Structure 1
Amino acid sequence: MFGTQMINDRGHLSIGGVDTTDLAEEFGTPLYVYDTALIKNKIDEFKHAFRRHDGLNWQIAYASKAFSTIAMIQLIEEQDLLLDVVSGGELYTALKAGMAPKRIHFHGNNKSDAELAMALDAKIGAVIVDNFFELERLESMCAARKQTVAVLLRVTPGIEAHTHEFIMTGQDASKFGFNLGNGMADRAVKQALQAPHLDLKGIHSHIGSQIFERDGFAGAIRLMMEHAYKWTRDLAFHLEVLNVGGGFGIRYTQDDQPLAIEDYIDTIVNTAAEECTRYRLKMPAIWIEPGRSLVGEAGTTLYTAGASKDIIGVRKYLAVDGGMSDNIRPSLYQAQYWAICANKAADPADTHVSIAGKCCESGDILIKDAVLPKNCGAGDLIAVFSTGAYGYSMASHYNRLVNPAVVFVESGNATLAVRRETYEDLIRQDIPLKNLSCYK
Structure 2
Amino acid sequence: MKSEHLLDVRPRVDAHFPRDEKGHLLIGGVSAVDLVAQFGTPLIAYDEGLIRDTIRAFHRVFQDEGVPYQISYASKAFCTMAICQLAHEEGLGIDVVSGGELYTALAAGVPASKLHMHGNNKTPEELEYAIESGIGAVIVDNFDEIDLLADILQETGRTVDVLVRVAPGVEAHTHDYISTGQQDSKFGFDLASHQVEEAFSRLKEVERARVIGVHAHIGSQIFDVEGFRLLADRMAGVYEDGLRRFGLPFSVLNLGGGFGIPYTDEDAPPVADLVRGVIRAAKAAFAARGMDVPVLWIEPGRSIVGPAGVTLYRVGSRKVIPGVRNYVAIDGGMTDNPRLALYGAKYHACYANRAADPPDRPWSVAGKCCESGDMLIWDLPLPDPQPGDLLAVFATGAYTYAMASHYNRIPKPAVVFCRDGEARLVARRETWADVARLDVPLR
Q: TM-score, normalised by structure 1?
A: 0.96
- Paired residue for 1:326? 336
Q: What secondary structure sits across from 2:314 in the alignment?
A: strand
Whether 2:119 is the aligned partner of 1:108: answer yes
- Paired residue for 2:97? 86
Q: What is the CA RMSD across the aligned residues, in angstroms?
A: 1.1
Letter in 1 for 2:267: D
- Paired residue for 1:405? 414
- Paired residue for 1:311? 321
- Paired residue for 1:382? 391
Q: What secondary structure sits across from 2:235 in the alignment?
A: helix
Distance 2:65 2:269 in 1: 22
Distance 2:242 2:39 in 1: 56
Whether 2:246 is the aligned partner of 1:231: answer no
CA contact (8 A) 2:210 2:249 kept: no
Distance 1:301 1:267 in 2: 32
> What's the CA shift for 1:232?
3.0
Q: What secondary structure sits across from 1:402 in the alignment?
A: coil
Letter in 2 for 1:413: E
Distance 1:238 1:77 in 2: 27
Distance 1:270 1:237 in 2: 25
- Paired residue for 1:273? 283
> What's the CA shift for 1:397?
0.4
CA contact (8 A) 2:46 2:308 kept: yes
Whether 2:16 is the aligned partner of 1:16: answer no
Q: What secondary structure sits across from 1:216 in the alignment?
A: helix
Whether 2:70 is the aligned partner of 1:59: answer yes
Distance 1:223 1:238 in 2: 19
CA contact (8 A) 2:259 2:271 kept: no
> What's the CA shift for 1:3?
5.8
Distance 1:223 1:297 in 2: 31
- Paired residue for 1:254? 265
Q: What secondary structure sits across from 1:352 in the alignment?
A: strand
Whether 2:200 is the aligned partner of 1:185: answer no
Distance 2:277 2:242 in 1: 24
Structure 2 counterparts to residues 153-164 of structure 1, below 5 A: 153-164=164-175
- Paired residue for 1:341? 351
CA contact (8 A) 2:116 2:139 kept: yes
Distance 2:51 2:202 in 1: 40
Distance 1:351 1:3 in 2: 22
Segments of structure 2 that go 5 or more residues without pairing to the other structure are 1-12
Structure 2 counterparts to residues 6-45 of structure 1, below 5 A: 6-45=18-57
Whether 2:430 is the aligned partner of 1:430: answer no
User: What are the Cα deviations for residues 311-342 of structure 1, in whole angstroms up to 9, with x where unaligned?
Assistant: 11010100000000000001111111111011
> What's the CA shift for 1:303?
0.3
User: What are the Cα deviations for residues 135-167 of structure 1, in whole angstroms up to 9, with x where unaligned?
Assistant: 110011101212111000110111111111100
User: What are the Cα deviations for residues 391-410 of structure 1, in whole angstroms up to 9, with x where unaligned?
Assistant: 10100000000000001101
Q: What secondary structure sits across from 1:92 in the alignment?
A: helix
Distance 2:331 2:144 in 1: 44
Q: TM-score, normalised by structure 2?
A: 0.96
Distance 2:408 2:305 in 1: 27
> What's the CA shift for 1:194?
2.2
**More moved, 338-347 vs 393-402:** 338-347
User: What are the Cα deviations for residues 404-424 of structure 1, in whole angstroms up to 9, with x where unaligned?
Assistant: 000110111011111100111
Distance change >3 Å, CA 371–CA 3, structure 1 → 2: closer
Distance 2:74 2:411 in 1: 25
CA contact (8 A) 1:344 1:373 kept: no
CA contact (8 A) 2:416 2:426 kept: yes
Letter in 1 for 2:29: G
Q: What secondary structure sits across from 2:257 in the alignment?
A: coil
Q: What secondary structure sits across from 2:164 in the alignment?
A: strand
Alignment counterpart, residue 97 of structure 1, candidates 101, 108, 116? 108
Letter in 1 for 2:398: A
- Paired residue for 1:437? none
Q: What secondary structure sits across from 1:307 in the alignment?
A: strand
Segments of 4+ moved more than 2 angstroms? 1-4, 227-234
- Paired residue for 2:9? none
Distance 1:228 1:121 in 2: 28
CA contact (8 A) 1:3 1:35 kept: no
Alignment counterpart, residue 423 of structure 2, candidates 367, 391, 414? 414
> What's the CA shift for 1:254?
0.8
Q: What secondary structure sits across from 1:304 in the alignment?
A: strand
Distance 2:245 2:425 in 1: 55
Letter in 2 for 1:340: C
- Paired residue for 1:438? none
- Paired residue for 2:4? none
User: What are the Cα deviations for residues 339-388 of structure 1, in whole angstroms up to 9, with x where unaligned?
Assistant: 101111111113101000000011001001111112x2211000000000
Q: What secondary structure sits across from 1:7 in the alignment?
A: coil
Distance 2:331 2:409 in 1: 13
Letter in 1 for 2:347: Y
CA contact (8 A) 2:223 2:274 kept: no
Distance 1:86 1:166 in 2: 17
Segments of structure 1 that go 5 or more residues without pairing to the other structure are 435-440
Alignment counterpart, residue 294 of structure 1, candidates 304, 311, 331? 304
Alignment counterpart, residue 75 of structure 1, candidates 79, 86, 103? 86
Letter in 2 for 1:389: A
User: What are the Cα deviations for residues 236-285 of structure 1, in whole angstroms up to 9, with x where unaligned?
Assistant: 23431000111001010111113341x22222222222222222223210
CA contact (8 A) 1:139 1:195 kept: yes
Letter in 2 for 1:273: K
User: What are the Cα deviations for residues 186-221 of structure 1, in whole angstroms up to 9, with x where unaligned?
Assistant: 111111122111100000011000000101111011
CA contact (8 A) 1:3 1:38 kept: no
Distance 1:274 1:303 in 2: 48
Distance 1:214 1:4 in 2: 25
Distance 1:325 1:47 in 2: 34
